[in-house]
Each structure stands twice: as C-alpha cells, then as structure tokens.
Homo-oligomer: A and B are copies of this chain.
Amino acid sequence: MIGSNDTAEVLVQALPYIRRFSGKTVVVKLGGAALHNANGAGSDLDRAMAQDVLLLKSVGVRVVLVHGGGPQIDDFMRKVGKEPEFRGGLRVTDAETLDIVRMVLVGKINRDLVSAINREEPVGVGVSGEDGGLLTAVQRDPDLGFVGDVTHVRAALLHQLLDDGLTPVVSTVGADAAGQPYNINADDAAMAIAVAMGAEKIVYLTAAPGLLEDVDDPDSLVHRLTSAELRDRIADAGISDGMIPKLRACADAVEGGVGSAHIIDGRVAHAILIELLTDEGIGTMVWKAA
C-alpha cells in the first residue's frame, strides 16, 4: 500500500497538470511497430492505453489518436502475393498497393483501435484523412507513386468530433483536390495534425524508453531538451534510423507551436498518464526555448 505522504505528493503534483491540460488538445501517435509488438488489439497494454486516453478525456483533455501500420501492410501484401518495395525508406505505392494500404489502415488497424477504446466506453470513431477533407496531400515524388505530403489539415473537423464528446482515431491516408488518395507517413501526419489543431502536446508512443544518450544503455535517458539541441543530436551518429523521423517531427512540432513533444515507451503500462501528470515524467520531452 502506498503511504498517505506519497499519495498526497502524486495528487498535489497531478492536479495542476490536470487543470492546465483541461480543454487542451493532446495528439498521441501509436506506431505500427508498437501495435505489432503489443500483439493485437486485445492486449493488456492496449487496454491500459485506451484507459489512459479515456481517463484524460474524463478530466477534459481532448485526445486525438493517430496510427501507422507499416508492418501490418507488409504482411497483408505478402498474403495477396505482392512484395513490398521501398525507396529511401518510403513504400513505393502503386494503385493496387494504395488499395491495400487503405484496407489495412482504415479497414483493419483503425477498426482494432476503435474496438479497444469502445470496449471501455463507446466514444471511439475512426476517421481517415480522406474524410471531410481532413488531410489534403500532394504527391511527393512520381517514382514513389501515391505517396503524399500533407499540405493542409482541416483541424476543425477533429475539433468538432471532440466537441461532440468523441475520440477520433485517425488513419493517415489523404487526398488531393481532385480526390486522388495518397499514403502518408504517420509520424509526419501526426505532427501536422498537432500543429494545425494548436495542440498543447504531441506524444509518440514507441518501442523505446525515449531518446538515449547511449543507445545501448537504457538508463541514459535524456529527460528534456530543446528543439535546437535535438536538431544537433539528429546530426550525431548513433541514433537509430527508425527514431530519426520521430525526432525531426518532434522538433517540427514544437517549432510549429505545439507546447511540447514527448517520446515515451509504449511498453510501459499507463506511460501516457505518468508522462503527462507527474513532474518527472517517463520519457523524453522536447520543448522550444523562449
């Protein structure tokens, strides 16, 4: 049992955060790898994640979930006899692949996440970037096919859903003005959404403790750094390839007006609550020096 001093300390710490975040928007990005590791939408970790989202919602925080799904797309492509192909780390997306991307992201992963939320409380709603013109995109490079970059986010759509008491779960497929869909990188899309919504925070749930001084030493966590310091480190050697786009997105987010960006360990139960409601936090926080 926890002593009354400790209890009081946690509460006295947490309440001002709750007050401060109430009415504010927090975008939480769930990585495809994390989902994959988490072994399906029914796991305890998924349940703790859904609880965190709903507990924050219950005290007035406006949470938006954004998800990717690279590994699951790879699996499904192979199932229908198609080999995934990448250039410069990006998936080459022909028309058939695009259909598979939409089916896996919108028709499978998004469904599983909405189910995880709705098993607790029926407020989760799936939204694709195509819905209501949420994510406007342009083609990045003809050689990559239907891979797009976000040029506009219709943030009001998500705010309306939040105003209606719903929790949006966003699949990152966008479309251009002519209605052509595009596959969009989820880390970038989450950042663009957070900036456009005027979010207080963006949180990347990953399969790592955060940014480490020494990638081999899990105790070498960097708790807090500015976006400028972060950009210096990105240039350093010794950062894993998968982490670099997230770090760039964190720097872009805070420089775009988001209050802070967080990289935390999706493998720790209730990591979101601990990061947001304690002074210490649990992962790496990026902020913009005044």
Contact = CB atoms under 8 A, between A and B. Distances in A.
Nearest to A107: B107
Name the prevailing secondary structure of the A interface residues: helix
Given A55-B16, A59-B59, A111-B106, A277 B11 contact: yes
A122 interface: yes
Contacts of A55: 11-12, 15-16, 19
B12 A270 contact: yes
B130 A128 contact: no
A56 B107 CA distance: 29
A71 interface: no
23 contacts: A2-B10, A4-B274, A4-B282, A8-B273, A11-B14, A11-B55, A12-B55, A15-B56, A15-B273, A18-B18, A19-B55, A22-B59, A102-B108, A103-B103, A111-B128, A111-B130, A115-B175, A115-B179, A118-B130, A124-B131, A125-B157, A157-B164, A164-B164
Contacts of A7: 10, 274, 278
B115 A58 contact: no
Contacts of A164: 157, 160-161, 164
A261 to B, nearest CB: 20
A119 B178 contact: yes
A132 B127 contact: no
A9 B2 contact: yes
A149 to B, nearest CB: 18
Given A11-B273, A104-B103, A107-B104, A123 B119 contact: no
Nearest to A169: B131
B103 A99 contact: no
Given A6-B6, A130-B111, A58 B15 contact: yes
Contacts of A111: 102, 106, 128, 130, 181
Contacts of A1: 280
